[in-house]
A and B are shown apart, each in its own frame.
Chain A
Amino acid sequence: MKRLIDKKYLVLIIVFIVLPFLVPSSYVRNLLVLAGIFALLALSTDLVLGYIGQLTLGQSAFFGVGAYASAIIAKELGIPFWISIIGAIVIAGVLGYFIGFISLRLRGGYFAITTLAFAQIMKLIANNWIELTRGPMGYTKIPSPSIFGLEIKSEIPYYFLTFIFVVLIIIIIKRLIDSPTGRAYLAIREQEDLARAVGIDVFRHKVQAFVISAMIAGLAGGLYAHYFRFISPDLLGIQYTSMALMMVFVGGRGSIPGVLIGAGIYTVLPETLRMAGTLRMSIFGVILLLCIMFMPGGIYRSIAGWIKRKSKKNGNIVQQTTVS
């Protein structure tokens, strides 16, 4: 058996463990939690965008439904976070199965508008099913998670809670991708006809990836709800889908480090520059556009490629000198 986590990642993990203690203010620690939650949302989106290559515009539906599900289960039924979050994952997964089963029959642009329509329908429900969601005013006083009787409420404990989930999801996605199932996804993305010709059940795999993606988005939503302890139907809005798309495409779709970098840049950088929310969105829209035009592999691949070329060049120089 291989180790759960490779040695080379240990350094990174240590950095992320000490990070919240190094940052100056609770405002920045707050951003770190947010970055973790958005990273989960972006990773979930990338499973559909980057691995089965379908442009989904409905990710906010699962994020929002996960948030509401966990909040409602925990508050109305008085069930602890650890179970309500599982409820959120399951409910988002079931919804993902339903939406995926319908929309994945359609291709390209039709798939995109169908997922968008479903997200709008879910938002409509969140706004108008007032007995359940309390409507546009939002759902408040969501209980914080607790462990051994201690509430996980302030930024640092919640940061670690989120961090553990992010690591766990990264491990799951990595193992999924490096498996026959992940190769089937890749085959579907690259050449659907050929995938079918070698016996891959394309539709089943697409639905599967879509459901896993929905579950991860649901988890992200649940974490969001119990952290802010207030949620509103805006969570199901297209802004969150746009945000996830930006993180994925700017960072680099189909690459875990790329998506994480995307999430980090999106959440932390402009906030520290004190930019207003809407201006940030439009600037990121511009970055997204520039990325898909000039850097289709995303920032991560461009930097990685640049470092590779550079080191190769240096390597060549070394070789030449030894030869001469």
Chain B
Amino acid sequence: MALLQVENLTKEFGGLKALNSVCFDVSEGEILGVIGPNGAGKTTCFNLLTGYYLPTAGKVVFKGEEVTNLPDYKRALYGIVRTFQHTNLFPKLTVFDNILIGCQRQHKSTLADALLRRKKFYSDEELLKAEVKRVLAFIGMQEMADMNAENLSYGDQRKLEIAIALAANPEILLLDEPAAGMNPSESAGLLKLIKEIQKLGITTVLVEHDMKLVMNICERIIVLNYGVKIAEGTPYEIRNNPQVVEVYLGKRK
């Protein structure tokens, strides 16, 4: 069974269908790309998956359980974790604290434990700190742990955003244009990072503009145009799909 199933997902804004009956599955462990020209409904689709919007019609099913109308924070608890299109981190906090907040939910002790400073509170805090160090090591930012997030380079900030999402213990990671604004070397680093994430057994869905990144990294691609899915397949198939070439790639030539 697919990890995430999207069935007839539709979203209307004042009578305009931003997304029209879109269906697709995401299999466990894959990297799926969602592409399309501007206004194709990519962002709407993304926002429906994360629970930022609720759909007009259709279903989103995660591990056999319907999550269509769950609010965003609850989806995160289920293991559906997102990043944002524009840099979104805690700028005034250190890199360490940024990630610490990310893995916040793994804390099992209660408020009473914290107020009474019971043993459970301390042991959980230690666990979290170990988890933060693990994530820091994974993304290779150990030596930046004490820097404020706002003082990082752009590439590192975007990396930190993914680290925060990883700390939230996702089963499926939804990345909203992760390469936006990156230079070629930063985007190459990102590509490597996403492949590393796949090795952890985390499924990734990315909505992206950067064709090179998508073609290089995704095992499967879905193409949207005017809110409708017009193609689905491997990068090779997509590249050779005449309809896609016409609406999307054709424009670039």
Residues of A within 8 A of B (CB): 1-2, 172, 175-176, 178-181, 183-184, 186-187, 190-191, 193-202
Contact = CB atoms under 8 A, between A and B. Distances in A.
B90 A190 contact: yes
Nearest to B103: A198
Interface in B52-108: 72-74, 76-77, 81-84, 88-93, 97, 100-102, 104-105, 107
A191 B90 contact: yes
Interface stretch (B3-11, B17-25, B113-121, B214-222): B113-121
Contacts of B115: 172, 175-176, 179
A131 to B, nearest CB: 38
B72 A197 contact: yes
Given A180-B104, A186-B93, A190-B93, A199 B168 contact: yes
B73 A201 contact: yes
A181 B111 contact: yes
The 6 closest A-B pairs by CB, nearest first: A179-B114, A199-B76, A180-B107, A198-B168, A199-B105, A190-B90
B104 A183 contact: yes
A187 to B, nearest CB: 5
A191 B88 contact: yes
A196 B70 CA distance: 12
Contacts of A198: 76, 81, 101-102, 104-105, 164-165, 167-168
B241 interface: no
Contact of A199 (B77, B90, B114): B77
A193 B88 contact: yes
Interface of B: 50, 72-74, 76-77, 81-84, 88-93, 97, 100-102, 104-105, 107, 109, 111, 114-115, 117, 119, 121, 124, 128, 164-165, 167-168
Contacts of A190: 90-93
B84 to A, nearest CB: 7
Contacts, number: 90
A186 B72 CA distance: 19
B162 to A, nearest CB: 12
B117 A200 contact: no
A197 B165 contact: yes
28 contacts: A2-B117, A176-B114, A178-B114, A179-B111, A179-B115, A180-B107, A180-B109, A184-B104, A186-B90, A190-B92, A191-B88, A194-B84, A194-B89, A194-B90, A196-B73, A197-B72, A197-B73, A197-B81, A197-B84, A197-B165, A197-B168, A198-B81, A198-B105, A198-B167, A199-B74, A199-B168, A200-B105, A201-B73
A191 B111 contact: no
Contacts of B89: 191, 194
Contacts of B102: 198
A28 to B, nearest CB: 34
Contacts of A186: 90, 93, 101
Contacts of A2: 117
A2 B89 CA distance: 32
A190 B84 CA distance: 15
Nearest to B161: A194
Contacts of B72: 196-197
A199 B84 contact: no
A199 B117 contact: no
**Centre residue among A2, A175, A181, A199 by max chain B CB count within 10 A:** A199
B243 to A, nearest CB: 34
A180 B92 CA distance: 18
A263 to B, nearest CB: 23
A263 B160 CA distance: 39
A1 B124 CA distance: 14
Contacts of B104: 180, 183-184, 187, 198-200
Which of A1, A175, A196 is packed against the most chain B CB atoms within 10 Å? A196
Contacts of B107: 180
Contacts of A179: 111, 114-115, 121
Given A183-B104, A197-B73, 12 more contacts: A179-B115, A183-B97, A186-B101, A191-B89, A191-B90, A196-B73, A198-B167, A199-B73, A199-B77, A199-B81, A199-B104, A201-B73
A186 B92 CA distance: 10
A105 B182 CA distance: 37
A252 to B, nearest CB: 15
A93 to B, nearest CB: 14
Nearest to B119: A1
Contacts of B114: 175-176, 178-181
A89 to B, nearest CB: 15
A178 B111 CA distance: 11
